[in-house]
Structure 1
Amino acid sequence: MATIYNCSEQDQLLTGMRLARVAIGRGELVVLPTDTVYGLAVDPFNNYGVQRLLDAKGRTRQSPPPVLIPGIPTLDALAETVPPEVRALVAAFWPGGLTVILPANPSLDWDLGETGGTVALRMPNNRIALELLSETGPLAVSSANLTGETAARTAQEAERMLGASVEVYLDGGEVGLDYEATGLGSTIIDATGLLTEGGTLRIVRHGVITEAQIDEVLARMPALPEPAAPPEPAA
C-alpha cells in the first residue's frame, strides 16, 4: 500500500522526495501538490508509465496528459516554436495557473497519446512540485482523480480515488486556496493558431487565469514589425 508523506515535516519531506524520484525513474506514479489541484505524475518519456497514468484515471489516449516543467528553458526545449505572445503570457503568469498548448519538438522520444503533434506545458507555482521537477525534469501530470470525479485538493482525497495505483503520495496540505474565487484548474490556451498568418490564440478551458487577464497582457505587447517586402527583381 502506498504511503502518504507529510511534507510539512522535514524527515517525511526528505524521505518522500527521495522515494518519489526513485518511483519516477521506474515509470511509476506519484501524486504531488500543485498550486491548483493535486497532480498524478509520471516520467513523460516512459511510454509504459504514461499508459499507467491514463489507466489509473480511466482515460483514453484521446486525453493526453499535460507536461509540468521547472522553468522557461524547458519550454524552449520541448516546444518546437514559442510565439512572442506566449513568451509575454508565461512571463506574466508563470509559475502559475496557465497551461499553453504548442507544437511539440519533433525530436522528442515520447508517446503521451493522441496529441496531434502538440504538447500542453505549465510551470506550477508550488514549492514541492518545483523541487521535484528540478530533480526529475519534466513530468506528465494530470489531475489526481478518477475521470468524472472532482479533482483532489488534498493528498487524502487523491488516495481515496487512486489508491494503490500510486507508489508515493506527497502531502503538501490543501491546495487551490488562492484560486477559490475563480475556480480550480489551470486555464488552458491553444497557441498553435498563432503560428499561421492571421491566426489567433484560443482558450480551450477557462480556469484560474481569466480571459481579461490574458487580454490585458497581450494588449501591453508592442506591435510586431511587419514582414519585410521581397526585393524587387533585377532589371
Structure 2
Amino acid sequence: MPASITTDIERAAAVLRAGGLVAIPTETVYGLAGNAMNEGAVTGIFAAKNRPSFDPLIIHQSSPDRILAYASEVPPDAEALAGAYWPGPLTLVLPKKPAVSDLVSAGLPTVALRVPAHPLTRELLRRLDFPLAAPSANPFGFVSPVTAQHVADQLADKIDLILDGGPCRVGLESTIVGFPDGKATILRKGGLPVEDIESTLGHPVAVQTHSSSKPLAPGMLSRHYSPGVRMTILEKTCTADQLAAMDAVIVFAEKKKPETSDGGTSPVYYDLSPSGDLAEAARQLFPTLRKIGQQQYDQVGVFLLPERGLGRAINDRLRRAAAT
C-alpha cells in the first residue's frame, strides 16, 4: 500500500520507533528518515532511494547539544557556526563517536550532523530518543522534493509514511562544512551562503570541488539532480541558432527574452525569479526542474545565475543536473 500523507507527529514517531521509514519536512528539502542507530532502518533508506552505500548520510537531532553528542571532537569554528546557524540549513562534518555506525558514515571516521529548523520535524525529534538519518526523499540522483506530494510521486510505494509540513522554505539542501586539517571547508554549497559563513568565522574558507568516487560528505557526487532530460549550460553570448535549438530555457531575472534567428522566442522560458530574488530562485529551482522533467523536452538550455550568495549553490545544482 502506498505511503499516506499525514500531519500526525505521534503516528510518524511510532513508525520510526518500529524501524520504519518516514519522509519528513525540513526548511531545505524533504528528507527520508529512519532511526540512525538501527542498521535495519538505515539499510532501508539506502534501498528505498537506490543510494550507493559509499555515500554517507546526515543525522539529525532537535538541538545542538543533542546532535553534537555524536561528535568526538568539535573545533572552535564548528562551535561558532553551530551557535550562529542551528537550527538551520547547515550540516557540520565532524569526527564521529563509536556509537555512530559505519553504515551511516560510509566507513569514514567522520559523521554529518544537522539541526533542522522546521517546527514539525523538531517536535518529532524531541519525542524520539534516537537521532534520524535523513538524506533527501527522492530516488538517488534525481530532483530533490520540496513538497509532500513530490515525495509521494516518487517514493510512496517504498516507504511507510509522509509527514506533511507544507512547502520547504529554503528549497536547497543544507550547506555542508567539514574541518579537514582543522580548517573550515565548504564540502557542499547549499541553503546557507558561503559569504555568511565567512562573515561569522571572520576569515575566508576553502570550497571543495565535487568528487565522483568516495565522497567526504553527502551530495558531493558530480552527477546529481537529474530531471531526466538533456540540459546544456548556455553562455550569455550564445548565438540565436544555439537558442533556437532549445525546447526550453531556464533563466533568471530576464526582462527581455533573447530572440531566435527567425525573430521569434520559440523556447519555453522558465524564469526562476523575474524580480532577481536569489531566495525565490532557490525555492523555485527544484519545482522548475521537476516541471521540465514532466514535459519531457529533448533539449533544455540553462543560463547560470550570478555567482554570489545563494546563486553559487543554485549554479552548483544546475551544473550537476546538466552533467547527467
Aligned to 2:175: 187
Which residue does 1:128 correspond to in 2?
Answer: 120
**Residue of structure 2 aligned with 1:203, choices 186, 189, 194:** 186
1:110 is displaced (CA, Å) by 6.4
Corresponding position: 1:152 with 2:145: yes
Asked whether the 8 Å contact 1:103–1:192 carries over to 2, the reply is no
CA distance in 2 between counterparts of 1:113 and 1:188 reads 14
Please tell me whether the aligned partners of residues 45 and 110 of structure 1 are also in contact (alpha carbons under 8 angstroms). Answer: no
Residue 56 and residue 210 in structure 1: after superposition, are their counterparts in 2 closer, same or farther (change >3 A)?
A: same
Q: In structure 1, how many angstroms separate the alpha carbons of the residues matched to 2:99 and 2:136?
A: 27
Q: Which residue of 1 aligns with 2:286?
A: none
SS at 1:217 equivalent = helix
Matching of residues 1-235 of structure 1 within 5 Å? 1=1, 2-5=3-6, 7=7, 16-108=8-100, 111-136=103-128, 137-176=130-169, 179=170, 184-194=172-182, 200-219=183-202
- Paired amino acid for 2:166: G
SS at match of 1:78: coil
Give the distance between the partners of 2:99 and 2:156, measured in 1 at CA.
35
CA deviations over 1:89-115 (Å, ceiling 9, x no partner): 011111100000001112445631524
Normalising by structure 2, report the TM-score: 0.60
The structure whose RCO (Cα within 8 Å, separation 6+) is larger is 1
Distance 1:158 1:206, change over 3 A: same
Runs of 4+ that moved beyond 6 A = none
Q: Distance between the aligned counterparts of 1:202 and 1:21, measured in 2?
A: 34
Rounded to whole Å, the distance in 2 between the matches of 1:193 and 1:23 is 40
Q: Which runs of 5+ in 2 are unaligned?
A: 204-324
Counterpart CA distance in 2 for 1:110 and 1:44 is: 11
Identity, % of aligned pairs? Answer: 35
Question: How far apart in 2 are the matches of 1:171 and 1:107?
Answer: 30
